[in-house]
Each structure stands twice: as structure tokens, then as C-alpha cells.
Structure 1
Amino acid sequence: MGALIELKNIGYSYHTLSGETGAIKDISFSVEEGEFVALVGPSGCGKSTLLSIIAGLLAPETGTIVVNNPDGSLHYPRIGYMLQHDHLFEWRTIYQNVTLGLEIHHALTPDRIAHVEQLLSDYGLEKFKNKRPCELSGGMKQRAALIRTLALDPQLLLLDEPFSALDYQTRLMVSSDICQLIRKAGKTMIIVTHDLSEAISLADKVYVLSARPATIKTVLPIQLTLTDSSPLAARNAPEFPYYFKQLWEELTDET
């Protein structure tokens, strides 16, 4: 496997009438095909800005993004972007919500519909597809939001604090289940999180960003000794406390 996407010296500032605010500066890293990467850092350091640049919603002021598709082509990878809030529409059923992207792209083909039906089954929502979002729990709505993201078959998933609105117990279960299914699907993922335990248990590699303007302060590859590869089991790995201590020390230095 090679790098799906590579960031080289990315920088970005916000400009207003009162002046310029640096958001990120000289960010360089690559994400391998099938790799899970976590971004952690002080609040307001520019993590979401970085995701928006990767998603193509913002153009970097400096630097470049290099794409290396497995087939050798140079087209930008298909991006799936999942935000903190589910943004499901109450006037649509769950099925209508998860197929919204396909509807917009005029891609409601039999194959895509079959894929959605399988995702609904895999994520335990098959019996709820005709319900409205208000009839589902927070965890179920986040699963529906992810199915909506996966329906367009993205190569790269960007998750911006997708579980932070959930209570702690639900967050543990939903994040574990969702990330196992994403791995099973062979997707590549970049997740922004403030939860250090979540970063360690979900990611293959954690990038610690400095205070604004964010630079990469530390890169921490995660290698856990596990018999059960689930994110929940990862928290019991013997190496887990060491990684947590390392990340905590890096972040407390910043604050």
C-alpha cells in the first residue's frame, strides 16, 4: 500500500478587516491507503480548518496536496465528510436521509441502493429505515449519518468529532462499532478528536498539533498488543497507558 494523499507544507490564515489570524502553518504528512489517522491538539488550533482543506472546502494559501491513487491516476480521492452533528432532516425518513447524497448526484442505481440496504443491515438500522430521526437515539442517528456518508463510496473518510455529542457509554459503543465497520470496508480515515483514549484506540497513527497557528508537534505511531482488535479492547492493551501519558504530556505543554 502507498500514500493515498500527501500534504506538503500546507498553510492557511483567516483574514478580516481587523487583521490576519494564522490557523495552520507548514503542515506536512501523508495518509496510507487503508490507514486510520487521528488529529489531536488544543481547542481552536486549526484541526477543523485542516479537514476542510483536505476536503476541498478551503484552498490552502501555501503548500500542495499530492494524490497517489492505487491505480496510478491523479484524480482527487472521493471524500466523505462527517461532522459532529448528524444534520439529518426530520421531514425525511432515515432511508430518505441516507440516500440523499445519491439522490442529489442522480446515482440511485440498483447497485447503490443494494449497497445502502446492506449498510443499514450492517449498522443495525434496517428495521428503522422508515422512522424519522426524532424516533432514533443519538447513537443510531450518528450511524445513519455515517451510512449517508458511505453511500457514495468515498475513498477517504474525514470525521470531525463525530461522537462528541453522545453520552460516554454510547460514545464508546458507537465509535467502536463504526470504526470496525469502516476498517472492514477497507476505507482510509482521518478523525479529529479531543478524546485521547479515542485517538489511541481507533488510530494507527496520532498527530499532535501545536497551538494556533498549528504545526505538527509530534507523530505517535500506535502499536498495541491485542488478541481482540476492537477499539474497546484496545483500552486494555498494556501499551495503552504509555501512549496516553505521551499524548497528555504533549498537550499539557501546549496549554
Structure 2
Amino acid sequence: MNKPILELKDISYSYHNLKGETPALSHISFQVERGEFIAIAGPSGCGKSTLLSIIFGLLVPESGEVLFHISQGEMQASRHQTAGLCPKMGYMLQHDHLFEWRTIYQNVLLGLEINHQLTEEKKDRAIQLLKDYDLYKFKDKKPSELSGGMKQRAALIRTLVLDPEILLLDEPFSALDYQTRLSVSSDICNIIRSTGKTAILITHDLSEAISLSDRILVMSKRPATIKCDIPIHLTISEDSPLASRNAPEYRGYFNQLWKEISDENYIQNAASLK
């Protein structure tokens, strides 16, 4: 039996400051299968980005462990170890973080330079990715000369050229206007699926979660637990996020997610009034 590519076992985490302790995550456990696209949703401030930072290795959980089963063998991070980045993971943030003094091609190569992997083979792969995703003719342009959607595609190529096995996406479309967001999220989802990568997406957009993912994990209010795990099965004529929004099952999933998260927001607001 194949192991899942990622396992979280009983993860808990709290923030500490001079005023005391703020519990963020409580006994989080789930698995992600190889090639699966997972969305994580929940009320604002529940700790979604904190969870992603723990998976990536930027934060160390107070209890529990994160297990990776990747092609180089099993890698383990637990509360007994210092923070460390998994070399086969890519992290895509809300903003593209492209450097204006570098061309698009130079920005795409940045991760390779930092990781001392700038070989001719990797350069050729970067060029091929730019061609595959319609950015080759803009490779010598500066970021300010590109649209927001094109910059996000460049940021994804910068991540993909490192050949990660797992992609962590922290609301990568939230800075875009609605029309661009629909188009770019569809493009990027298709790119990720065509490469067979495993992806974990943080999003506040329920429509986005339903149309892009294979499964949605709903987090409770802080300290967050996994409230429910919803597999997504849509009847669609073509495999695209835009077509998914017209599937007959779409409204049912949306109403289910809305109820789960609205209940959490109601509880959170009621508690703040006491």
C-alpha cells in the first residue's frame, strides 16, 4: 500500500508574547495523497497560514509531527527538532514577490540561484516552462510591464522550476481583481494538475475551493481543529475550474461549506460579545 505524500499527526501550536499564550492549532491530523489537490478553508484568523508555515518548516509545532514520504525517502519533522525546510516543497504566497530590477527570466531563475542549482539543464527547463505557459516572449520584460495574472504565472514557474513534489499555495489569487482571479486560478490549477504535483491551497473563497480541489478541509475557530473533511465530486463536461461552477453538485457543496464556516463565525462573534 502506497504511503500518503504528507501526514500531519496531532499538531498543536500556540503563539507567545508578554501578555501570555494564544492557542492557534489544537490536535490537527490529516493525510494528503500523492497528486491530490487539497483546499483548506475556515473562519478568518483561525490559523490556516500558521498550519502552512508548520508544514513548510518555518514554525515548529509544540506537539505532534509532520511526515513527508517523498522520492528521496521519508523525511520527518517533529517538536523535538529545529525548524527546517523540506527541499521538495514549494511555497507560493499571496503576492508574486518578483524583483523589479530583474527581468522575468531572471526572476524565474532566482530560486535556482539561491539553492545553488543553476545548471544549464535547469536553465533549459525554465525556458521550456516559460514557453509552455505563454510567457517566453515576455522573458526580458520587467515585472511592472506585465499584468497581475502574468506575474502570478511567473511566480508559479519560479516555484515549479525547482521541481517540488508538494506545492503550498497561501491565497495566491487574493491580490487579483475578480475577473483576473477566475482566469488565473483556472490557469494555475491546470498547470499544477498537468505536472502531477500535490497541492495544498489556503483560501477564503468557497467557490475557488470547490472548483479547484479534490477535497476541502474546514477548520474551526481558534484554537483550530479539523471540523470536517469534504471530498469533492463534480459532474462536469470538461475538466476546468470554470466548468466546475456550473456542475449540478456545486450549489450543495457551497451551501454545506457556507453553513460550516458561518456557524464558526457566529460562535466566534457571540463569544466576543460576552
Give the TM interval when normalised to the shorter protein.
over 0.9
Deviations 1:134-166 (A, max 9, x none): 111111111111111111100000000000100
The residue type equivalent to 1:169 in the other structure is Q
Aligned to 1:229: 239
CA distance in 1, matches of 2:142, 2:184: 20
Q: 1:96 aligns with which of 106, 109, 123?
A: 106
Aligned to 2:190: 180
Aligned to 2:47: 46
TM-score (norm 2): 0.90
Query: Are residues 1:74 and 2:64 paired?
Result: no
CA distance in 2, matches of 1:205, 1:23: 23
Aligned to 1:17: 18
The residue type equivalent to 1:103 in the other structure is E
Aligned to 2:83: none
Alignment of 1:49-128 (within 5 A): 49-69=50-70, 73-75=73-75, 76=86, 78-128=88-138
Deviations 1:41-69 (A, max 9, x none): 01110000000000001011010112223
Are the equivalent residues in 2 in contact too, given 1:77–1:156 (CA < 8 A)? no
RMSD over aligned CA atoms reads: 1.1
Q: 1:135 aligns with which of 145, 151, 164?
A: 145
> What secondary structure sits across from 1:10 in the alignment?
strand
Are the equivalent residues in 2 in contact too, given 1:2–1:70 (CA < 8 A)? no
Aligned to 2:79: none
Matched pairs, number: 254
Q: Which has the higher contact order (CA 8 A, sep 6+)?
A: 1
Q: Structure 1, unaligned stretches of length 5 or more?
A: none
Query: Are residues 1:8 and 2:14 paired?
Result: no
Deviations 1:6-58 (A, max 9, x none): 00010100000110011111100000000000000011100000000000010
Are the equivalent residues in 2 in contact too, given 1:4–1:70 (CA < 8 A)? no
Aligned to 2:261: 251
Aligned to 2:159: 149
